A = this chain, B = another copy of it.
Amino acid sequence: MTEFSLTPEHVNETIRQHWPTTMHECVEIGPAHALARYVIEQDMLRPGGFVAGPTQFSIADVALWYVSFSALGRVEPMTLTSELSIRFLRPAQGRVMWARADVDKAGRSSVVGTVKVWMDDRPDRLVSTAQGTYALPPMA
């Protein structure tokens, strides 16, 4: 068992090499959780000032992606979402969207996790909740 050595900086740098235009940012990563941040482009909002469902889906998906790196112990952009279910709980309004993913199980071929999404400084008022599975590439 090696010590956990992934950092948000390493995650962000590696991802930007593959996907330079990403707007998501990893702000925490641990052996069994990750925290993602997304600064809302105010001109992309739906009428009424709401963050669209697919935008919420995208941060949930990204947070699970980060957590798949936790499980692997390295940044592996080739992990892929197998399935994800999301429930929308409240209208999402604000400037910064956050998503925290926690690992439910990390196996050899997949990682299952639970994700909570909220706006600004209100983790007590979730805007959506999700669960999903990432498929890991075969080990070298």
Q: Which of A5-13, A66-74, A75-83, A93-101 contacts B (4 or more CB under 8 A)?
A: A75-83
| Majority secondary structure of chain A interface residues (helix, strand, loop or mixed) | strand
Minimum CB distance partner of A60 in chain B: B54
Copies in the complex: 4
Interface size bucket, A side?
20 to 34
Q: Is the CB of A104 within 8 A of B129?
A: yes
Minimum CB distance partner of A131 in chain B: B131
Given known A58-B54, A61-B53, A83-B87, contact A116–B133 (CB-CB < 8 A): no
10 interchain residue pairs of minimum CB distance: A85-B85, A54-B58, A89-B105, A104-B129, A83-B87, A57-B57, A53-B81, A131-B131, A87-B112, A18-B47
